Amino acid sequence: MAQDELFKNIIAHTKEYGYIFQSSELYDGLGAVYDYGQYGAELKNNIKQYWWKAMVQMNENIVGIDSAIFMHPTVWKASGHVDAFNDPLIDNKDSKKRYRADVLIEEYREKLNQKIEKEVEKAQKRFGDSFDKATFVSTNANVLRYQSEIDTLTKRFQAALENSNLEDLKQIIIDCEIACPISGTKNWTEVRQFNLMFGTELGSVAGDSSTIYLRPETAQGIFVNYLNVQKTGRMRIPFGIAQIGKAFRNEIVARQFIFRMREFEQMEMQFFVKPGEEMKWFEHWKTVRRNWHLALGFSEKRYRMHDHDKLAHYANAATDIEFEFPFGFKELEGIHSRTDFDLSQHQTFSGKKIQYFDNELNESYVPYVVETSVGLDRTFLSLLSNAYAEETITKEDGSTDQRVVLKIPAPLAPVKVTVMPLVKKDGLPELAREILKSLQFEHNCQYDEKDSIGKRYRRQDAIGTPFCVTVDHDSLTDQKVTIRHRDSMLQERVSISELEKIISYQVSMTRLLEKL
């Protein structure tokens, strides 16, 4: 299936099955803002729990906080967001559509990469087992031409971004002959900078002094609480402060469903280290965070590391963990070495000393920071992209059937188990409800007695329930039930007295955490 068709199907599926709705749909929706439905909210909570346990609970030197969304306006002056949190935008004069200039160029470069991959695939087919990829990419004329174009473009692009050279960004778009995907023309406006923060007024007095911002990242809530946490928690360096919370950005080019939203959630951790040790920790957190994604058990090939072309105003090194979404490889998480930029800025702007006294060195310093920042919504989308499958299945009588199944890792699945009486009579519903009650203390469960068992399985597959438990007439005498496994569709007969233990083991978050 084509990737854009797959993406459309995923979006439609999330709406049909109560995962994600367009915000204010009743009023024709609000662009790039989404609501999570009954299953979406559960999945989101489970992802948060997985992150919190992995980052806070499993690390004795990391603590979690929950800071306010509104902060003193000077925070954003100090952090550099008022002056530098901009996107370079360009409009196509014919379609009147607006784009991020840097994204247009990145997409063009990605197309060149794909051309190289196609050449490699073709050659691989032609040469079979004797194919030597390294020799091929270093000698094939087409590959060398594409690679040389990528290298030249990357150099020029990086320089334009570093120097905020908006004219050259436009010139790159012209020189690469990048056309508007809507109008197909190359009739572009100049590139302009656009600040992404949402401002609002605090209290009833209008004017600049009372303008406050909806936070564009949760990180600043951690920085301004650095001293509070370090002192009250008697934290010794190296240590981390984590939090999960909403962030807001006035994204002008807001497409691709929940990938780029105006209101979204971040899971961020700031790790405070001794100056000079930041690159060691930067490498450490790159590995740790990559493993967190891989522990979900999906193909490693869908994740890759990508160093930034342009460093944010606060960073001296930055790498993205990219995921292959249905619309290509894109940023899922950022790992940033933020130096002492933020704490030093807050020290200057607040006039208060923000330092750490290092007993070993017998001196004070402003700690350096390595940050891990992952979007909750993007993690959600990566999970759905991995989990969504359309399958043809062969039934016992040899006929075939279609199913759409969400193969979400069991510890994260919104509903863990659905209990079903085979028929709605003969005491089966009563026993099924008894079993349901015993499982509900620990797990989010459902009860379903409508339609045939086959239809009930399909409904549970579609929302990603890993286990269905069927109560039949034999259950009344042998005190056993049938567990049906979502992915393999295999069924096994187990004692009712063993059921809770079996399910609890499979859906426990420990199954993910022990892989880290």
* Interface ranges with ligand GAP (CB under 6 A): 217, 219, 249, 251, 260-261, 264, 266, 268, 331-334, 371, 373-375, 377-378
Q: Give the C-alpha separation, 378 to 380, whole Å.
A: 5
Q: Give the C-alpha separation, 177 to 163, whole Å.
A: 22
Least distance (Å) between residue 312 CB and ligand GAP: 7
Closest CB to ligand GAP among residues 258, 507: 258
Closest CB to ligand GAP among residues 219, 354: 219
Point out the residue whose Cβ comes nearest to ligand GAP: 375
Closest CB to ligand GAP among residues 378, 416: 378
Q: Which amino acid is at 469?
A: V
Closest CB to ligand GAP among residues 116, 383: 383
Q: Give the C-alpha separation, 463 to 39, whole Å.
A: 8
Closest CB to ligand GAP among residues 261, 435: 261
Closest CB to ligand GAP among residues 367, 429: 367
* The 3-state secondary structure of 89-128, one letter per residue: EEEECCCCCEEEHHHHHHHHHHHHHHHHHHHHHHHHHHHH
Least distance (Å) between residue 8 CB and ligand GAP: 20
Least distance (Å) between residue 260 CB and ligand GAP: 4
- For residue 364 the two structure tokens come to 């004070």
Residue 212 Cα to chain centre, angstroms: 28
Q: Give the C-alpha separation, 216 to 28, whole Å.
A: 26
Closest CB to ligand GAP among residues 56, 369: 369
Closest CB to ligand GAP among residues 338, 484: 338
Least distance (Å) between residue 320 CB and ligand GAP: 7
Least distance (Å) between residue 413 CB and ligand GAP: 22
CA separation, residue 20 to residues 7, 14, 262, 264 (Å): 14, 5, 15, 13
For the chain, what is the largest distance between any 2 Cα atoms, rounded to a whole number of angstroms?
Answer: 80
Backbone angles phi, psi at 70, to 5 degrees: -80, 135
Least distance (Å) between residue 153 CB and ligand GAP: 22
Least distance (Å) between residue 395 CB and ligand GAP: 41
Least distance (Å) between residue 484 CB and ligand GAP: 35
CB burial readout 35-70, b (16+ within 10 A) else e: ebbebbebbbebbeebbbbbbbeebeebbbbebeee
Q: Is 158 exposed, middle or buried (0-12, 13-18, 19+ CB in 10 A)?
A: middle
